[in-house]
Amino acid sequence: MDVRLQLSMVFHLDKCIGCHTCSVACKNIWTDRKGAEYMWWNNVETKPGTGYPTQWEDQQKYRGGWEVKGDSLKPRLAGRLGRLANIFFNPYLPSLDDYYEPWTYKYDDLFNAPAGDDQPTARPISMITKEPMNIEAGPNWDDDLSGSPVYARNDVNMSELTDEERESLFQLERMVFFYLPRICNHCLNPACVGVCPAGAIYKRGEDGIVLVSQEKCRGWRFCISGCPYKKVYYNWGTGKSEKCILCFPRVETGQAPACFHTCVGRIRYMGVLLYDGDRIEEVAKAPEEKLVLAQRSLILDPNDPEVVLAAKRKGIAEDLIAAAQKSPVYRFVKEWEVALPLHAEFRTLPMLFYVPPLLPVAASVESGSYDLSDGDFFGSVEKARVPVKYMACLFSAGDEEMVKGVLRKLMAVRAYKRYETVGDIDARRLSAIMQEAGCTMEVAEQIFRLTSLPRFKDRFVLPASHREQFVETVEDVSSHKGQIGVGFGFGTPAKRGL
Amino acid sequence: MIDLLLYGVFPYVAIVLAVVVSIWRFSTNQFSYSSLSSQFLEGRKLFWGSVPWHIGIGLLLIGHLIGVFLPASVRAFNGAPIRLYILEGTALALGLMALVGLIVLAARRMGDSRVRSVTTTMDALVLVLLLVQVLTGVGTALFYRWGSFWFVNTATPYLWSLATLSPKWDYMVSMPITVKLHALNFFVLVAIFPFSRLVHIVSAPLSYLWRPYQLVRWNLPMSRSLD
Ligand code: SF4
């Protein structure tokens, strides 16, 4: 057993209100620079929808993630030699237009226009060419456009649904959508690392954060296609790849990343997980329908004395182990089993988990009005407005039973609270619901507390990483004083040429 | 006199520049040690330029190197005329392929506004020099037949004389103008190599072929171990 530590995340989708505060916080800190204008290390997309960049989930198009060939795991982007053969031109690279062309406005015209009969206008100009342009796409262009033929209908996950299921999503009265906030998953088996010819991308041993060395990156761009989540971006100004750094300067000092800290819906949880590094490859090769379970089995119980001992042997500090024992992520993912990885079938073992949204109350409009008298106030999982199949495509590599199990448990929590506060569910009915969901009142209460009433310290259990102690042993900590750069990680200005 | 300067002295200046500045640039500004890819901004035309260009010029470069390092094998290969024709035909085809690719690349760089906005003066200069190089090369192949035949008896000894620090520039004096230009322009390219995007040639990621897929970096070796 090779105990390793991973900073992990849970996003509770029922709580996301789609306000994009997270994206803006991230943009202001990290990507408000030339070459990075179009990047959203954190983005929030509407599902069903095509997402950002458009159709990122379509691996026929972008060849991201891994596939099992024979009994070995290979990047879908072709083997090592094949990749080098594509080095002069990467046929699977998304282009700027798959994201959007960043623009600003010619504000000067508002002040400098000569007197005339019309109001002066500020024309949009491209931030790349500085020439006037027509805006055809932008960040969150598909926001809330669930029913639209352009976005929802082209959602890659739709292809798994039957025609009937698909059409049901487009009936005006039943139109439904939810938000999917996305950041880098800081995977255990990152495909971006696997396909990088220069060896510039790496996973930090201490906390599992995946980073791109700007010095080593030579701009071959395979990571852009290789990451199945499209969470590595190409900076067209510096010619380097960039990605979410999980705000490591904040995390190292025990602060939550900016998008977590600012999240209005408080949907985000962060904590550490202990896992068994020896089994990564074996788990990543598991048969598709077992992937989610296999990944869960990789996570070790931080209260198991054997695990604690092995962790200490490996040099993991006491306070980190204590944090693992209090980790909210562990509870959601492993203890309660209500948080699932996004698109486990990409086989990167993503370490960001989602509590799937409890579907909106199933209502029928036969009588012309919302009819909730179905006997069952909360409706049933089977009658959910978003087909369970669709959820399964996103969160359980197609396994509907697994998603149903999670949704039942979430429903059970609601039923339990209703039993407690409203009282129109009697004890017998409640215990039937609990039994079906495999949940107890005690667990339901705990899930309820961590979902609805968590304080800051409950949502983010982040021990400081003591990195300063490491740094002090190898260099003078004041040696970087007065150095400037473009603001993230460069000691010298990021300038090209000589 | 001028020949002495151009073919006896300048090559050394160029090579010293290339080596010294390359090392200096790598150690002080590794960040810039690559070519600025613009595929993300424009991909369709790039394909028709980049692929033929790189394949054509890469193979031709290897061919030239074989001529320099293994002249005997080239002579032996060219022993039968049919093989000579095949070799020359292939080389000419590769030259034309590189030329077409380069023209596409140049047209794209000037014609596409997105690509133009990431183009530097040095990029333009590199394009012009490469164009001169390929044109003189193709010109030589067309007008001064069986280059691979006389290359090993003129260029090879000339380059070896440079390498052994006893430059025999008179090999170049009697050469036709396209060959003279081709050789001179080559050394100009060598000289600007470390100042331009050409440095990407030496960052070819061959080690990728044998490294493991996953890379984990530890801050320090796990030294806090308890036992
Ligand atoms: S800030 Fe929170 S609630 Fe708002 S969009 Fe982002 S994840 Fe959702």
Domains of chain B (ranges; CATH) run: 2-225 (1.20.950.20)
Amino acid occupying residue B213: Y
Query: Is the distance from the beta carbon of residue A18 to the nearest atom of ligand 1 less than 6 Å?
Result: yes
pLDDT at position A450 is 97
Residue A263: CB within 6 Å of ligand 1? yes
Structure-block tokens of residue A333: 């993912």
Three-state DSSP string of A237-281: CCCEEEECCCCHHHHCCCCCCHHHHHCCCCCEEEEEEEEEHHHHH
* Rounded CA separation A241/B159 (Å): 40
> Cβ contacts of residue A16 below 8 Å, gap of 6+?
A44, A178, A179, A180, A181, A265, A267
* Chain B residue numbers touching A492 (CB-CB < 8 A): 29, 31
Q: Which among A201, A215, A220 has the least Cβ separation from residue B205?
A: A220
For residue A459 and ligand 1, the question of a CB distance below 6 A is answered with no
Residues of A in contact with B126 (CB under 8 A): none
Q: Cβ separation of B209 and A202 shorter than 8 Å? A: no
- Indicate whether residue A25 lines ligand 1 (CB < 6 A): no
Q: Which of A30-34, A299-303, B144-148 has the lowest mean pLDDT?
A: B144-148
As given in the structure block, the two tokens for residue B104 are 């596409």
Nearest CA to ligand 1 atom 4: A19
Q: Does B38 touch chain A (CB under 8 A)?
A: yes
CB within 8 Å: B220 and A313? no
CB of residue A20 inside a 6 A radius of ligand 1: yes
Contacts of B200 in chain A (CB under 8 A): 218
* Spatial distance between the Cα atoms of A342 and A395, rounded to a whole number of angstroms: 5
pLDDT at A65: 95
Question: Which class for A95: exposed (0-12), middle (13-18), buried (19 or more C-beta within 10 A)?
Answer: middle
Distance of CA A6 to the CA centre of its chain: 15
pLDDT digits (tens, 9 = 90+) for A97-122: 999 999 999 999 899 989 889 889 99
Tens of pLDDT, residue by residue over A3-35, are 999 999 999 999 999 999 999 999 999 999 999
- A42 CA closest ligand 1 atom index: 6
DSSP string, B201-222: GGG--GGGGTS-S--EE-SS-S
State how far residue B130 is from chain A, nearest Cα, in angstroms.
17
Sorted by where each begins, the domain ranges of chain A are: 101-136, 265-459
> Beta-carbon neighbour count of residue A459 at 10 Å?
22
Residue B27 has pLDDT above 80, yes or no: yes
Pseudo-torsion of CA B139, B140, B142, B144, nearest 10°?
A: 140
pLDDT at B26 exceeding the cut of 60? yes
Which ligand 1 atom sits closest to the C-alpha of A23?
6
Mean predicted lDDT score pLDDT of chain A = 88
> Phi and psi at residue A3, in whole multiples of 5°?
-70, 125
Residue A161 has which token pair?
Answer: 């649904």
Q: Which 3 state secondary structure label does DSSP give B42? A: coil
Write down the pLDDT at residue A192: 96
* Closest by Cβ to B113, choosing from A131, A219, A312: A131
Q: Which chain A residues are within 8 Å of B38, Cβ to Cβ?
A: 236
Ligand 1 binding pocket mutation candidate from A178, A260, A267, A451 (most atoms within 8 A of CB): A267
| Chain B residues inside the 8 Å CB shell of A240 | 31
B124 touching A (Cβ < 8 Å): no
pLDDT at A281 > cutoff 70? yes
pLDDT in tens, B71-111: 988 888 888 889 999 999 999 999 999 999 999 999 999 99
pLDDT of residue B224: 43
Which of A165-169, A225-229, A474-478, B74-78 is most confident?
A225-229
Provide mean pLDDT across the span B202-212.
Answer: 86
pLDDT of amino acid A190: 97
In this prediction, residues A318-324 reach a mean pLDDT of: 93
Q: Do A88 and B54 touch (CB under 8 A)?
A: yes
Residue A495 is predicted with a pLDDT of 55
A175-228 pLDDT per residue, tens: 788 999 999 999 999 999 999 999 999 999 889 999 999 989 999 999 999 999
A202 to chain B: which residues are within 8 Å by CB? 215-217
- Confirm or reject contact between B55 and chain A (CB < 8 A): yes
Q: What does the pLDDT read at residue B1?
A: 79
Pocket of ligand 1 contains residue A447 by CB under 6 Å: no
CB contact (8 A) between residue B32 and residue A495: yes
pLDDT bracket for residue A80 (50, 70, 90)? confident
Q: Are A217 and B36 in contact (CB under 8 A)?
A: no
Phi-psi bin for A94: left (phi > 0), alpha (psi -120 to 50), beta? beta
Average pLDDT, chain B: 91
Which of A40, A44, A269 to mutate to test ligand 1, by most ligand atoms within 8 A of the CB atom? A44
More confident residue, A155 or A466: A155
Distance between first and last Cα of chain B: 75
CA distance A247 to A237: 22
pLDDT for B4 equals: 86
pLDDT for A424:
81
- Indicate yes or no: CB of B214 within 8 angstroms of CB of A312: no
CATH topology assigned to domain A265-459? Alpha-Beta Plaits (3.30.70)
- CB-CB neighbors (< 8 A) of A193 in chain B: 213-215
Q: Which of A12-21, A276-285, B170-179 shows the lowest per-residue confidence on average (mean pLDDT)? A: B170-179
Residue listed under structure tokens 């890659």: A156
Helix, strand, coil proportions of chain A in percent (round to 5)? 35, 15, 50
Please tell me what DSSP assigns to residue A120.
P
DSSP for B164-177, written as a single string: TT---THHHHTS-H
Report the residue from A194, A218, A467 with minimal CB separation from B214: A194
Please name the member of A199, A317, A496 whose beta carbon is closest to the beta carbon of B207. Answer: A199
**Nearest-atom index, ligand 1, CA of A18:** 5
8 Å CB contact of B25 and A498: yes
What pLDDT, in 10s, does the model give residues B44-73?
999 999 999 999 999 999 999 999 999 988
Q: Is the CB of A10 under 6 A from ligand 1?
A: no
Q: What is the predicted pLDDT for the residue at A253?
A: 85
Q: So what's the pLDDT on residue B20?
A: 95
Average of per-residue pLDDT across A416-434 = 89
Nearest to B43 among A80, A95, A240 (CB): A95
Residue A252 has pLDDT above 50, yes or no: yes
Instruction: Say if residue A79's pLDDT is above 50.
Output: yes
Count of A–B CB contacts within 8 Å?
A: 154
Of the candidates A119, A183, A185, A160, the one whose C-alpha atom is nearest the C-alpha of residue A344 is A185
